[in-house]
Chain A
Amino acid sequence: SYELTQPLSVSVTLGQTARITCGGDNIEKTNAHWYQQKAGQAPVLVIYRDDNRPSGIPERFAGSNSGNTATLTISGAQAGDEADYFCQVWDGSTVVFGGGTKLTVL
């Protein structure tokens, strides 16, 4: 079965750039989506189809997908960005999620 690998945690200094990776075999051949989940809340879609932002998501959130890695980049990280982030793809037969990355803003 297809697997997506995310780092358990990423730390970023307030105002700096955070990058959260999602590794998968030839992930560039699929569309990667990213969700933000704050404690006790439902996930929110922040990036879809690799690099598209839904309406209402700040421009600080950006995505890319190349080779075996999809990346979520958060520029000028704010305290309110502290959350768990999950990547997701369709592997041709099932929906697959990464294990999630906890982003800490220092």
Chain B
Amino acid sequence: QLLLQESGPGLVKPSETLSLTCNVSGGSIGPSGYYWGWLRQPPGKGLEWIASISSTANSHYNPAFKSRVAISVDTSKSHFALKLSSVAAADTAVYFCARQLWPEKFDLWGQGTQVIVAS
């Protein structure tokens, strides 16, 4: 059974870069027609898509983040990663990684990781 697990710092200072990794276990992250995405959910709010990437590094970004986000994939390590630069308090959220049948449904999700932006 495929499992996704996010990891990263729980606390990031304003103006710094947030780096998160999603480890995929129990199966291959390799060529399968799926994309691998990052989403977030601010406290008490709804879901927001950030970016998605294929195993061949074809990436798509939410225009709202495009200027400060980068997504990458490492199939040899079976993980993909997110970097979000110039973070502010508004970037405080639970960040989820998920498998996506591009550009449609997200059918498998990680448990999420809480990130707080504060000095």
Which of A's residues lie within 8 Å of B, judged by CB?
31, 33, 35, 41-45, 48-49, 54, 86, 88, 90, 93-100
Contact = CB atoms under 8 A, between A and B. Distances in A.
Given A97-B46, A97-B49, A42 B96 contact: yes
A15 to B, nearest CB: 29
A30 to B, nearest CB: 9
A35 B49 CA distance: 14
Interface string B93-118: 00010000001111101111000000
B112 to A, nearest CB: 5
B109 A97 contact: no
Interface residues of B, number: 17
B104 A97 contact: no
Nearest to B106: A45
Contact of B109 (A42, A54, A88): A42
B107 A45 contact: yes
Contacts of B62: 94-95
Q: Give the most central of B47, B52, B106, B110: most A CB within 10 Å.
A: B47
Contacts of A45: 105-107
Contacts of B26: none
A43 B107 contact: no
Given A45-B107, A49-B105, A54-B107, A94 B49 contact: yes
A19 B44 CA distance: 22
Contacts of B106: 33, 35, 43, 45, 88
Contacts of A97: 46-49
A33 B105 contact: yes
A43 B47 contact: yes
B20 to A, nearest CB: 15
A31 B104 contact: yes
16 contacts: A35-B47, A41-B111, A42-B110, A43-B106, A48-B104, A49-B104, A86-B46, A88-B47, A88-B105, A90-B103, A94-B62, A94-B63, A95-B49, A97-B46, A98-B46, A100-B46
